[in-house]
Amino acid sequence: MTSITLPLTYKAIELPAYNANVVRAMLGLHIVEKTITQISDNHLLVKMQAASCNPSDIAFIQGGYNIFKSVPCVPGFEGTGIIAAVGAGLSADHWIGKRVSCFTQEDSDGTWAEYLIIKPGQLIQIDEALTIDQAACFFINPFTAFGLFETAIQRKAQAIVINAAGSRVSDVLFALAKKNHIKTIGIVRRQQTMESLIKKGFDKVLLTSGESFDENLRIVMQEFDSCVVYDAVGGEQTGIIANCLPANSEIVVYGGLSGKPVSGIDSMQLIFKKLTVSGFNLNEWMNIAEPAKIEQTKNTLTSMIVSEEIKIPINIHISIDEIVKGIRSYLGAMSDGKMLIHF
């Protein structure tokens, strides 16, 4: 069943092959025309309005992310649009016309296209109060931060430490910590970012480039009985941070910006201070979360975004035909905000 005429021809951004060189990967992206001849049973057709570009998308086109698709393929993990048609097994009256936010990492075309075929479990209906920009960025960073923050709630943490605290996930973690009266310690590389986070309201901000970074972190940690660390960097930094933590702390690794294996953790921290090291994968969290949990998360995040407790900065807006130009600009200013592709 559909409410549109098939076959449907539309424009999409195509990745012909992975390339570890980010410039070559970017230059390989090109616009193609694709055709939809049918919508599979129990699938939905979304007319896309906007899709985001995240660091994970950049890693994906390089073949450096832990999600691989058969190439050529359409990249893009998240976006927003309106349900335009349904496949057999789904109610057209229920779905068509609904605004949705999408998240997909399956081996199929992604969100960087004018149309997307997707399963109901890969999207959520969104509140009309969310703008297109907010809806396009609603899944990856906000839901990742919410899932990560559950560890702090479960452990009744007095403080959270955020490595790569200038990130968009960090923005949401900070808002959730503030809402729950939990102290925030940020770790960053640049002086400018440190000053920005101090102005924002972080309780402490440390520079990894400082001569006494580990000693300063150890001093800060003496104020707390335990804490939860959210680490998007990995490599040697994870070990340095781990060795400064109080007993009964946990490090949750959710990224690998360093490109290196986690290393340098003192075994004594694990044995005598009961340090826990874990990983977080949004796909897994979404798969095991009960529908009521997803709904609760959606409502909480929507409320915080609408009230501007959570702000989602968008730095670059482009059309589908400007993808190479857009990514070139985004690579030089990733900390300034997201890039959105509008359709």
User: In angstroms, how far is CA 92 from the centroid of its own chain?
Assistant: 31
Residue 289 falls inside a structural domain: no
130/25 same-domain check: yes
223/119 same-domain check: no
Averaged over 131-150, what is the pLDDT? 97
Residue 288 falls inside a structural domain: no
pLDDT at 139: 94
Is residue 3 pLDDT above 80, yes or no? no
Averaged over 136-148, what is the pLDDT? 97
101/203 same-domain check: no
49/118 same-domain check: yes
Q: Evaluate whether 138 touches 301 at the Cβ level (below 8 Å).
A: yes
Residue 266 falls inside a structural domain: yes
pLDDT band at 5 (very low <50, low <70, confident <90, very high): confident
Residue 293 falls inside a structural domain: no
pLDDT at 211: 80
Residue 2 falls inside a structural domain: no
Q: How many domains does the chain have?
A: 2
Is residue 193 pLDDT above 70, yes or no? yes
159/97 same-domain check: no
Joined tokens for residue 101: 């936010």
Residue 303 falls inside a structural domain: no
Q: For residue range 9-61, what is the model confidence (pLDDT) as tens digits?
A: 999 999 999 999 999 999 999 999 999 999 999 999 999 999 999 999 999 99
pLDDT at 66: 86
Is residue 1 pLDDT above 50, yes or no? no
Domain of 79, CATH number, reads 3.90.180.10
Is residue 283 pLDDT above 70, yes or no? yes
pLDDT at 165: 96
146/279 same-domain check: yes
Residue 78 falls inside a structural domain: yes
42/131 same-domain check: yes
Domain that holds residue 221: 142-283
Averaged over 104-127, what is the pLDDT? 96
159/226 same-domain check: yes
Domain boundary among 283, 300, 331: 283
Residue 160 β-bridge partners: 184, 228
Residue 207 falls inside a structural domain: yes
22/76 same-domain check: yes
94/162 same-domain check: no
Q: For residue range 56-91, what is the model confidence (pLDDT) as tens digits?
A: 999 999 999 989 999 999 999 999 999 999 999 999
CA distances (Å), origin 149, targets 172, 181, 305: 9, 13, 17
Residue 318 β-bridge partners: 341
103/170 same-domain check: no
123/218 same-domain check: no
